[in-house]
A and B are shown apart, each in its own frame.
Chain A
């Protein structure tokens, strides 16, 4: 158990819909990262927050947005869903933004868009 909690574990929805994925980081961790993992693209970095502020952005689509709340939990919002958005979405947390820091990953949220 990494200490990172993600909900829901599984989600099935239709194209055009909107979903919200939730992440609670490990106690004490200030940084939250979101990654998308699909069979053909591997683990792709989406976005990072540190203590409520956006710190780094990857190849995150405009249809996707995220935020980190004062209690440090984070949400990833995916809208106007397309079939290609089906993937595993991982949240990870770390103590700081240090580049050598260990990332602790949650078990992921599996999104299926039909």
Chain B
């Protein structure tokens, strides 16, 4: 069983549409990160959120950390083909050092 559950598993949309990816858990996290991974490469960090209720914006990407620090979402506005990739959320709890990853959401943006 994954500590972090991501949904949906796959998402295919047309260029210009919006999309939201969810990351949920029953555990409380001291911080949560979002990474993007492209084929043949390792994951690359997009953002870190640490405060419950925190919202961070990175150009067309908006990240939100739930008030209870158990969940997070990633929203992409006006998606572009360059946004295609595997989006992974990762969290660490206050009682351990390891960073646990969700299974990921594969996003495909069609031109």
Contact = CB atoms under 8 A, between A and B. Distances in A.
Interface of A: 2, 4, 33, 35, 41-45, 48, 55-58, 90, 92, 97, 99-100, 102-108
20 contacts: A33-B99, A41-B103, A42-B2, A43-B88, A45-B99, A55-B97, A56-B97, A56-B98, A58-B98, A90-B43, A99-B31, A99-B92, A99-B94, A99-B99, A100-B48, A100-B50, A102-B33, A105-B41, A105-B42, A105-B43
Interface in B73-108: 88, 92, 94, 96-104
Contacts of A108: 41-42
A51 to B, nearest CB: 13
A43 B104 contact: yes
Nearest to B92: A99
A40 to B, nearest CB: 9
A105 B41 CA distance: 8
Contacts of A35: 101
A107 B40 contact: yes
Given A35-B101, A102-B45, 14 more contacts: A2-B42, A42-B88, A42-B102, A48-B97, A55-B97, A58-B98, A99-B92, A99-B99, A100-B50, A100-B92, A103-B33, A103-B99, A104-B45, A105-B41
